[in-house]
Amino acid sequence: MKHLLAKLLFVLCLYTNIIDADVQLIKKENADSNTTLLVIGGIHGDEPGAYFSASILATHYKINSKNLWIVPDLNQKSIQKNSRGINGDMNRKFAIIKESDKDKKIVEEIKEIITQKNVSLVLNLHDGNGFYRKTDKGNIFNPNAWGQTCVIDQCDLNQTQPFGNLNTIALDVKERINRRLIEEHHTFDVKNTNTKFDDEAMQLSLTYYAVTHNKPAFAIESSKNLPSLSQKVFYHLLAIEEFMNIMEIDFTREFYLDERSITKLLEEYGNLNINDNISINLTNIKKYLSFIPIKSESNVFRFSNPLGSIAREGRNFVAYIGNKRVVTLSPQYFKIGKSCTDTFDVIVDGVKVTLNKTSDIIVNDYFNVIEQSGYRVNVIGFTSEGLINESGISVKLEDFDKRFSIDVDNRVYRVEFYKNNEFCHMSKVHFIQDYENE
């Protein structure tokens, strides 16, 4: 029972998805300092360890002193497609970019964020191939690999620059990470690309742009050859925490930092709010939901997960969490009622309660939506012979056609409210009697 109710509690901060969104910047700030760590995930859309760790950092960490800024999904459209870059490699566009380049707006905006005065240190998160080794030890373990590295473009910045000794900091972080390896061969090392003299490609990168603007910058690369996403995220978070320790950023987190805890967090997709009158839990949801009552245009989608995004496919809307295609929503268009109430009354297991318009109805045995004058209730999946309005009827789990459930366990169903043939809002009923002993 407690386990199920925990799943029904969502992060209150919602992230709005506009299909052509600008850079999403999440700020966790305190008034005690201008010291700010900027963490960037998702510059490459096929590196999920980077952006899922940035998302967990945004939602499950509290910053008690100094400041943390997070860009969890810099290249959102490429993340949806699990592509390095649908418009080319975004991490090769920081020295020069054409006016016609579709990435230009995002690149210019992240440049402005990086160069803000109070940004003290920049971390760009990646998943790299193989396991970096200074000597050749085979196809996966060699000097050309990028995985399990703290990458720097040069050893030092201006001597008066705080955190300007890049090599010393990177070596320190490497040593700290290597004390907590999951497997011995997961060791981290420092990779100095000596960008100014030896690497023309890296001269076009985000971190080199930062250091040429006197901003200490590092790339953290987990290995694409690690067996699970949770391991990639573990090493990213471990590295970020060590940078916060070096910067004396005090933080707390809501979980124990290990692979098992991270696996559970990655399975929690959070909540999707549509037009402030529909709220859907994306965890454990079916892959396809039909006849979702929305407007014909100008719909607003908000996610509790920073990696939530919407893509339009034909007439349908597809909800993503990072590169994970979570649910396809097939719409049914309605005008939205402007004079609807924000609450409704319902009898739940014999007790009358008043709920907010998108609240979940948590039921053991039965529920009965109390009739309101002028309103029509449609309980999706419940068939009542000849009735247009399904308020005033006691409904149990066995009364539903399981094909119409929202969740894969066939326990959650939609309850929709209409007034004058206009859509007002949608609630959900959760039947929990079989979970009481969990």
Q: Which pTM does this prediction carry?
A: 0.92
**For all residues of the chain together, what is the average pLDDT?**
93
Q: Where are the beta strands (DSSP E) in 153-259?
A: 189-192, 217-223, 251-253
Q: How confident is the model at residue 385 (pLDDT cuts 50, 70, 90)?
A: confident
Residue 407: pLDDT above 90?
A: yes
User: Angle at Cα 37 formed by Cα 195 and Cα 126, nearest 5°?
Assistant: 50
Tokens of 181: 């390896």
Q: Which residues contact 18 (CB under 8 A, 6 or more apart)?
A: none
- Per residue in 233-264, pLDDT tens? 999 999 999 999 999 999 999 999 999 999 99
- Per residue in 92-115, pLDDT tens? 999 999 999 999 999 999 999 999
Amino acid (1-letter code) at residue 98: K
326-329: long-range contacts at Cβ-Cβ below 8 A with a sequence spacing of 24 or more? 326/269, 326/282, 326/285, 326/287, 327/280, 327/282, 327/285, 327/286, 327/287, 327/288, 327/289, 328/287, 328/288, 328/289, 329/289, 329/292
Say if residues 126 and 44 touch (Cβ distance below 8 Å). yes
Q: How confident is the model at residue 435 (pLDDT cuts 50, 70, 90)?
A: low
Say if residues 255 and 261 touch (Cβ distance below 8 Å). yes
- Per residue in 201-222, pLDDT tens? 999 999 999 999 999 999 999 9
Residues 116 and 391: their CA atoms lie apart, in Å, by 56
Q: Which residues contact 365 (CB under 8 A, 6 or more apart)?
A: 349, 396, 433
Say if residues 349 and 363 touch (Cβ distance below 8 Å). yes
Say if residues 123 and 220 touch (Cβ distance below 8 Å). yes
Residue 335: pLDDT above 60?
A: yes
